[in-house]
Amino acid sequence: MIANKKYHTKGFIILRFIKKCCIYALLTLFTLALLWTLYFKVYGNFHKVDHNVYRSAQLYSFNLPHYIESHNIKSIINLQGPSPKEWYSDEKRISSDYNVSHFDFDISDRRLLTIQQMDALVKLMQEAPKPLLIHCRAGADRTSLASALYHYAVNKDLPSAQSSISILYGHIPWFGSRTITMDISFDNYVKAYPLKP
């Protein structure tokens, strides 16, 4: 009877330990998810591409004016296209208020881009007034492709282009994600226009 009690006590302690581990793991995941969300919403996944170009997630009325002022932004390329949502009307209004040129270039993060589409995007990025801000919804997939194209086509810098499509910006093309089309599109562009040694 005593041995049986000991067994149950050990089993109870192990179960309690496993339960605590699960709770701590869930709390950690929840905290990381919350921090990730705050990072994208508040900070806006904002990064410098080079001295002329910046990249970000979709910004809002509470943080877009700050970035326009602090980086002297002269134009914005929105890779989501026009939208009936409030963020879009805010972005257009703020762009107008700050005399910032605004361009819509609607692409999907789940469909391959043609060489012609990428040529048009590169031309727009070259011709848009600088400093330029490029963004999509999260700044992770479409913006990564645009940044890579800019580094490759304009700066002729393949290593920087390749590092622009990265998990560091939230781009996760694995586990069956269709956002891998951004990587494939960029590879197709590199094959179409190989850099001269």
Q: Is residue 16's pLDDT more than 90?
A: no
Q: Which two tokens stand for residue 14?
A: 């192990």
- Which has the closest alpha carbon to 78: 53, 56, 94? 56
| pLDDT confidence of residue 87 | 94
- Are the beta carbons of 145 and 111 closer than 8 angstroms? no
Lowest mean pLDDT among 7-11, 69-73, 139-143: 7-11
Whether the per-residue pLDDT at 146 is higher than 70: the answer is yes
Residues facing residue 54 across a β-bridge: 48, 133
Local confidence band at 170 (pLDDT 50, 70, 90 cut-offs): confident
Q: φ, ψ for residue 56 (rounded to 5)?
A: -160, 175
**Per-residue burial over 151-171, b = 16 or more CB atoms within 10 Å of its CB, e = otherwise:** bbbbeebeebbbebbeeebbb
Q: Over the stretch 71-83, which tens digit does the pLDDT of each residue have?
A: 999 999 999 999 9
Interatomic CA distance for residues 171 and 138, integer angstroms = 9
- On the question of pLDDT at 3 being above 60, the answer is no
**pLDDT greater than 70 at residue 91:** yes
**For helices 142-149 and 115-127, angle between their N-to-C axes, nearest 10 degrees:** 70
Flag whether pLDDT at 194 surpasses 50.
Answer: yes
Best CA proximity match to 65, nearest among 24, 36, 102, 94: 94
Encoded tokens for 176: 């069956």
Q: Read off the pLDDT of each residue in 34-58 and give the average, rounded to a whole number.
A: 83
What pTM was computed for the model?
A: 0.81
Greater model confidence, 116 or 35:
116
In angstroms, the Cα distances linking 169 to 47, 98, 179 are 9, 27, 13
- CB 189 within 8 Å of CB 181: no
> Do the Cβ atoms of 162 and 133 come closer than 8 Å?
no
pLDDT at 66: 95
Q: What is the pLDDT of residue 1?
A: 45
pLDDT band at 17 (very low <50, low <70, confident <90, very high): confident
- Residue range 148-156: mean pLDDT, rounded: 97
Instruction: State yes or no: pLDDT of 174 exceeds 80.
Output: yes
Is 43's pLDDT higher than 90? no
State residue 5's pLDDT score.
53
